[in-house]
Amino acid sequence: MKYTKKISTLIILFYLFMPYSLYAFSYNNTYNIKLDNSSKVMGATVPATFLLYSFNADLIAGWNTPLYSHEKKYIPKKYHNLDVLGGWYGNGNYANKEMLLTKNIDAAFYIGTENVMIGEIEEYMKSIKIPVISITGSSIEDDIEIYNTLGRIFNNKKRSDEIIAYINKSITNTKNITKQVSKKKRVYLALGENGLKTRCVNSITLAGAENVHKCSNYEESISFEQLLVYNPDVIIIGKKNAYKHIMGNKKWANLKAIKNKQILFVSEEPFSWVEKKTVMEYFVVQYLASKLYPQYSTLDLHNLLIEHLKIFFHFDMDYNMAEKLINYEKYCK
């Protein structure tokens, strides 16, 4: 690795109105760190690590936490037993200094939707002489900039171009469906144990629908009485426990979406498709648009998912595996 202490900071702003916040794309490589495909890096957070993994799995020095069994199903075995390095993932957790000092790590990456933790991370890593690169962004368009940036940092434009081509195809495929929609479906995203927690995720609006609840925080709880007032056209369910509660509760049967069988129980594998922003989003927007407006979609979701897992997870998925994720409710009760 080569890096100098000459300050070199590039900040590019693309302002984006989120349902409850305003974020921006930014890139900060203060020490002008030069990396390549032989470098070893760590993600400071779980999303950062998986994004780096998606770009080049051989770059990452380890995981933040042990992989879950449902994650291992979609990750080649050679990466299952990488060291657990810790990181910043809530509840006061942070990186394992002793472990990091043994790994000859060239740089740590913070990649997220906002820079709230970057100062703490930089100070912590400075004590063990590991430089930090921060990249932030919120939208799919920002993600294109993020992968472009990784291509420059690691001198691997071929890889960033491959990923960006898929993301652009995802955007085009989704818009080809949503541009035909004259009346948006009103959607409620049911999370939590009882389905009464919700988030206003971009995937739903990008898929041509409207979140019935307007969020002011990252995650909010609502009353069932408020949900009755909303009376959504479609309920998207992102958790098994919520699905079991909703489908077995007589009160929920009074909702229009339940009466009309407009329930979409989405996969939790490899990560939840709707609960949070992950690299699954580029497939999920196509999936949601196709499921919400099937009359306007000619997409082959199975092959798109197989392609997605190959590009972002370096994993060869077969048709039967794709089928079980795309029609999740049928196979996972």
Q: What is the pLDDT of residues 29-61, one digit of tens each?
A: 766 788 999 999 999 999 999 999 999 999 999
Strand partners, 187: 211, 234
Per residue in 198-230, pLDDT tens? 998 899 999 999 999 998 887 899 999 999 999
pLDDT at position 22 over 60: no
The predicted model scores a pTM of 0.88
Answer whether 16-155 and 176-331 agree in fold: yes
Superfamily of domain 176-331: Nitrogenase molybdenum iron protein domain (3.40.50.1980)
CA–CA dist 238, 309 (Å, integer): 20
At residue 24, the pLDDT reads: 58
At residue 32, the pLDDT reads: 77
Q: What is the mean pLDDT of the chain?
A: 89
pLDDT at position 2 over 50: no
Closest CA to 28 of 153, 123, 140: 153
Per residue in 147-180, pLDDT tens? 999 999 999 999 999 999 999 999 999 999 999 9
At residue 92, the pLDDT reads: 78
Per residue in 70-100, pLDDT tens? 999 999 999 999 999 999 987 778 899 999 9
Percentage of the residues of the chain whose pLDDT score is greater than 70: 92
Closest CA to 289 of 206, 220, 165, 189: 206
At residue 14, the pLDDT reads: 27
- Residues whose CB falls within 8 Å of the CB of residue 9, separated by 6 or more in sequence, listed in order: 28, 29, 30
At residue 34, the pLDDT reads: 83
Architecture of the domain made up of 16-155: 3-Layer(aba) Sandwich (3.40)
pLDDT at position 137 over 90: no
Q: Where are the domains of the chain?
A: 16-155, 176-331
Band the pLDDT of 333: cuts 50, 70, 90: low
